[in-house]
Structures are given as structure tokens and as C-alpha cells.
Amino acid sequence: MKPAIDTDLITLHAPRDFRGEAATTFLAEAEASVTPQLRVLELDFSDTAVTDGGGIGALLELHHWCVAHAPQVSLRLLDPLPEIRHLLELARLHHLYVIIGSRDSFDPQS
């Protein structure tokens, strides 16, 4: 996975199958992408078709890691499928991540 890099924003593309080892690898790559000047970490879920408890756990762990090591970073999930978005809402992760759908408009300051 090659991140799209800006000075204060990075976009990472989540794998199609966001479970198990793939979710763990993605978590490590996301943590490694964080720099002191980073303000927004976007996780592009537009190609992600499936996740499970391991994937949800990786997202929760990334949030906790950012709170502890990079509190300046805002986390965004981009364009998850409706089924994935529903799982995120069931897990209450929509309170921790800004979730932006393809039809949603967003304020770059959020």
C-alpha cells in the first residue's frame, strides 16, 4: 500500500478483505505513516468489501494509538460500503471516526 502524502494529510487505501492479518498489517502501516506534522489520516474504504471483529478491533486500536501518540491527528473513514458502515455504527466507531460517504460533503476543517 502506497499512501497518498500531503504535508498534513495522508490517505491510506484499506485492503478489499479487511480481516485478520490484512487488518493487522494495515494497522501497522497506518501507525508508521503518522508524523508530527500530520493532522488528518484518511482511511479509504471504498474498495473494502468485507471485515469482521478483527478489522473493527484494528480500527479501534488505531484510534487508541492516535490518542496516546498523535492526539493532533483526526481520523477519517472514506466511502465505506453500506454494510461496512452499518458494522462501524454497531460497534459505535462512528463516534471515533469521521465517516465520509461518496455523496457526503465534508468540511476540510473537521
pLDDT digits (tens, 9 = 90+) for 22-76: 999 999 999 999 999 999 999 999 999 999 999 999 999 999 999 999 999 999 9
Domain range annotation of the chain:
19-35+58-72, 74-104
Sort 75 into a burial class: Cβ within 10 Å, 0-12 / 13-18 / 19+.
Answer: buried
Query: Is the alpha carbon torsion for 59, 64, 66, 67 positive or negative?
Result: positive
Give pTM, 2 decimals: 0.82
Rounded CA-CA distance 31/92 in Å is 21
Is the model's pLDDT at 103 over the cut of 80?
no
Percent of the chain scoring above 90 in pLDDT: 75
State the CB neighbour count (10 A cutoff) for residue 20.
14
Q: What is the DSSP letter of 3?
A: P
